[in-house]
Amino acid sequence: MSWTADGYVATVTMNNFQIYRHIQNPGWTLGWTWAKKEVIWSMVGAQTTEQGDCSKFKGNVPHCCKKTPTVVDLLPGVPYNQQFSNCCKGGVIGAWGQDPSAAVSQFQVSAGLAGTTNKTVKLPKNFTLLGPGPGYTCGPAKIVPSTVFLTTDKRRKTQALMTWNVTCTYSQFLARKHPSCCVSFSSFYNDTITPCPSCACGCENKKSCVKADSKILTKKGLNTPKKDNTPLLQCTHHMCPVRVHWHVKTNYKDYWRVKIAITNFNYRMNHTLWTLAIQHPNLNNVTQVFSFDYKPVSPYGSINDTGMFYGTKFYNDLLMEAGPSGNVQSEVLLQKDQKTFTFKQGWAFPRKVYFNGDECMLPPPDSYPFLPNSAQGNFASFSLTILLLLFISIW
């Protein structure tokens, strides 16, 4: 944004362009390696986690002297003179599809012992992003055309002196070796409930899990998160922190109704601004969603088979930790397409489910609730009875 006697002042903007994955509490952590011997004189809207060795400076001491600074967002409620636009949210960045205005975080940094012209500035390298855990891989910084700004009266344009971009991509396989959620199914036409697969999320935490009726749950401080985000899970056969349940509830002439329930089994984590993305061919004709907000997602343009569900603000956008309040649920009314609609062969169940952007493990297809064998015969005998009655009345 401007040059200083020994460096520059820069605005760092982090945009989350992921439609249904956000960065939740405890928030993002951004790191990089300086190309030369730069220091950070001051920061507004964020801070480094360590100052480093600044013993060679007399008088003014830099904010950070580390070769590899690690930056985190400030918490809400900091003094106004420490705040910057779109800062101070504890590192939480919303998903773009949920709320574009919340999908950004910014801070200002004053770098010293750096270049003071476009030709002498050396770009930082080895960028890292935790969001809040592993999974992101960042590419190199690339110089791009300078960012342009409009004045408040929108009659004049100004521009940055220099701009560079860094793109970070997410991989669920780098984030964890097991899924973080699973899916179970049930239906009105079959008494069988198809549970999550056993050890769907790995059973490494089985030794430290807690039974739902354990007296340990009354202990104070149980729900306080650990620094390393180690979960405290309720003992289940699937050992997943989150379960999504899809229940085919009712069948009407032109519509059918589904109930969706999300349950949290982690006693040490609640989920702010949670999202649920589901792929199903009938999501191209959603009539009404009763307790969640809903947006269609069209990743392939013409194919509209994916939708994103998320909590209504100030009502159920927070999924509480495991316990009596650790669930949210809604019902969805869908209009039938008579050419494709069927209850046969598991058609009524989703193809893919994502919670907070991570794909959940589905049950094996041969375990889905199926139509009873007598269903076809019952419908046929019912039709035959009507025909006989008509025949008798005519006779």
Tell whether 303 and 190 lie within a shared domain. Answer: yes
Nearest to 41 by CA among 56, 58, 60: 60
Sorting pLDDT into bands at 50, 70 and 90, what band is 45?
Answer: very high
pLDDT-above-90 percentage for the chain: 78
Q: Are residues 349 and 329 in the same domain?
A: yes
* Mean local confidence (pLDDT), 289-295: 94
Direct distance between the N- and C-terminal alpha carbons of the chain, in angstroms, rounded to an integer: 93
- Which pTM was predicted? 0.86
Q: Which residues pair with 12 in a beta bridge?
A: 107
Q: 389 lies in a domain?
A: no
Please indicate, yes or no, if residue 379 is contained in any of the structural domains: no
pLDDT band, very low/low/confident/very high, at 25 (cuts 50, 70, 90)? confident
Output the domain CATH number for residue 55: 2.60.40.290
The predicted pLDDT at position 59 comes to 87
Look at the alpha carbons of 304, 307, 312, 315 in this order and tell me if their dihedral is positive or negative.
Answer: positive
Cα-only R_g, the chain: 27
> Does residue 166 sit in the same domain as residue 182?
no
Say which range, 130-139, 156-165, 374-383, has the weakest mean pLDDT: 374-383
In this structure, the answer to whether residues 192 and 327 fall within a common structural domain is yes
Cβ burial 112-142 (10 Å sphere, 16+ → b, else e): bebbeeeeebebbeebbbbbbeebbebeebe
Residues 6+ apart with CB under 8 A from 103: 15, 16, 17, 22, 93, 94, 95, 96
Backbone angles phi, psi at 143, to 5 degrees: -70, 130
In this prediction, residues 136-161 reach a mean pLDDT of 95
The answer to whether residues 186 and 255 belong to one domain is yes
Weakest mean pLDDT among 220-229, 241-250, 264-273, 373-382: 373-382
CB 10 within 8 A of CB 84: no
The distance of Cα 302 from the centroid of its chain, to the nearest Å, equals: 25
> What's the mean pLDDT in 255-268?
96
Give the range of the structural domain holding residue 351, as residue numbers without chain letter: 177-216+226-365
Query: Using CA atoms, how far apart are residues 80 and 126, in angstroms rounded to an integer?
Result: 32
Same domain? For 192 and 270 the reply is yes
How far apart are the C-alpha atoms of 38 and 122, rounded to whole Å? 10
Classify residue 395 by burial, with Cβ atoms within 10 Å: 0-12, 13-18, 19+. Answer: exposed
Residue 387 lies in a domain: no
Whether residues 167 and 198 fall in one domain: no
- Whether the CB-CB separation of 252 and 286 falls below 8 Å is answered with no
pLDDT tops 60 at residue 287? yes
Domain assignment present for 299: yes
Is residue 129 a part of any domain in this protein? yes
pLDDT at position 223 over 80: no
Q: Go through the chain and tell me how many residues it has.
A: 395
Is 394 a domain residue?
A: no
Give me the pLDDT at residue 375, please: 52
Q: How many domains are there within the chain?
A: 2
Report if residue 392 sits inside a domain. Answer: no
pLDDT digits (tens, 9 = 90+) for 55-104: 999 889 999 999 999 999 999 999 999 999 999 999 999 999 999 999 99
Summarize the confidence of residues 252-259 as an average pLDDT: 96
Instruction: Please determine, for residue 374, whether its predicted confidence score (pLDDT) is greater than 70.
Output: no
> Would 94 be classed as within a structural domain?
yes
Residue 129 sits in the same domain as residue 202: no
Two tokens at 222? Answer: 């149980």
| Domain shared by 24 and 134, yes or no | yes
- Can you give the pLDDT at residue 214? 85
Whether residues 262 and 321 fall in one domain? yes
Are residue 116 and residue 140 in the same domain, yes or no? Answer: yes
- SS in 3 state form for the chain? CEECCCCEEEEEEEECCCCCCCECCCCCEEEEECCCCCEEEEEECEEECCCCCCCCCCCCCCCECCCCCEEEECCCCCCHHHCCCCCCCCCCECCCCCCHHHCEEEEEEEEECCCCCCCCCCCCEEEEEECCCCCEEECCCEEECCCEEECCCCCCEEECCCEEECCEEECHHHHCCCCCEEEEEEECCEEEEECCCCCCCCCHHHHHCECCCCHHHHCCCCCCCCCCCCCCEECCCCCCCEEEEEEEEEECCCEEEEEEEEEECECCCCEECCEEEEECHHHHHEEEECCEEEEEECCCCCCCCEEEEEECCCCCCEECCCCCCCEEEEEEEEECCCCCCCCHHHCCCCCEEEECCEECECCCHHHCCCCCCHHHHHHHHHHHHHHHHHHHHHC
Residues 141 and 206 in one domain: no
Summarised one tens digit per residue, pLDDT across range 169-205 is 999 999 989 999 999 999 999 999 999 999 999 988 8
Number of Cβ atoms within 10 Å of the Cβ of 263: 20
**pLDDT band for position 386 (cuts 50, 70, 90):** very low
Residue 376: pLDDT band with limits 50, 70, 90: very low
